[in-house]
Amino acid sequence: MVAINYRTADVDGWRIFYREAGRADAPTLLLLHGFPSAGHMFRDLIPLLADRFHVVAPDLPGFGQSDKLARGMFATTFDHIAEVIDRFTEVIGLERFAIYVFDYGAPTGFRIAAKHPKRVTAIISQNGNAYEEGLSDGWNPIRAYWQDASDKNRQALRAFLKPETTIWQYTHGVPDATRVSPDGYSLDNYYLSRPGADEVQLDLFGDYKSNVALYPAFQNYFRTHKPPLLAVWGKNDPFFLPAGAEAFMRDIPNATVRFFDTGHFALETHAAEIAAVIRDFLSR
């Protein structure tokens, strides 16, 4: 049995909740979740890695058990979220670590890696995009909001916050939906239902354009530093296309790309397979 500890860290006044497992002196892997989830999305992966790695999975600010974001008191931007997680790694004493990035965790982790290239030993991207060709037409309503931040376009994005949409994100592209536990999407829907969470998430939809604007900077980091990179991708993801995974090889020719017959939340159905690939990748 793997012992998992559930902790909190005070990061310059922000309470950041995180899961931690494995020996503190083992190679560290920082797991960064995406929308609309939290560190609980790694509940199946952590036990499969903790015998060999020191695994740390924080809830991003405004997500899960970390402090909620109050509009007007915290810049609701990916820049700010990355700054807090960057400081989080320093507060808990992480000096060198690999990162596993998914969805919103990708622009968070890529900002940290580009800022501290010597700290990040490797990157595992699970449907964590850094290329325009990786963005599907599913982004069109959000793109419309980037181009015209009208109330009409903002309100149209509330469809992404509906409980049935969360369930769809978990089950779309999964050949056998009975393999998807309701635990994950039910908890995500609880977090989304908290007072004020909707407006914060709408703000982040709007700010996601800052991530796309940074794609050239992320790609320059990849080309310049060529970090060991593994892409493990749910090939049926409705938001991040396989082309986004393959594009990493343009800047990191030795990158490894693996596709799995599943959707956006690939760990829900393929945690064991992905863990095996990660163990091999990080042992090279």
Q: What is the pLDDT of residue 2?
A: 87
| 37 in Cβ contact with 66 (< 8 Å) | no
Give how far Cα 96 sits from Cα of 29, 93, 203, Å. 9, 9, 32
Tens-digit pLDDT profile for residues 228-254:
999 999 999 999 999 999 999 999 999
| DSSP H/E element including 95 | none
Which residues have C-beta within 8 Å of that of residue 110, sequence separation ≥ 6?
101, 128, 130, 214, 218, 221
Q: What is the pLDDT of residue 259?
A: 98
Q: What is the pLDDT of residue 109?
A: 98
- Looking at 214-261, list the stretches that DSSP marks H as alpha helix, in order from N- to C-terminal side: 215-225, 242-246, 248-251
Q: What is the pLDDT of residue 1?
A: 76
Q: Maximum distance among all alpha carbons in the chain?
A: 52
Q: What is the pLDDT of residue 280?
A: 97
Tens-digit pLDDT profile for residues 42-68:
999 999 999 999 999 999 999 999 998
Count the Cβ atoms, other than its own, within 10 Å of residue 273.
15
Q: What is the pLDDT of residue 221?
A: 98
Which regions in the chain score pLDDT beneath 70?
none
Q: What is the pTM of this model?
A: 0.97
| 151 in Cβ contact with 158 (< 8 Å) | no
Q: Which of 165, 184, 39 is nearest to 108 (CA)?
A: 39
| 155 in Cβ contact with 202 (< 8 Å) | no
Residues taking part in catalysis: 264
Which residues have C-beta within 8 Å of that of residue 228, sequence separation ≥ 6?
121, 122, 123, 254, 281, 284
Burial label for 32, CB within 10 Å (0-12, 13-18, 19+), is: buried
Q: What is the pLDDT of residue 70?
A: 75
What is the rounded CA–CA span in Å between residue 254 and residue 209? 29
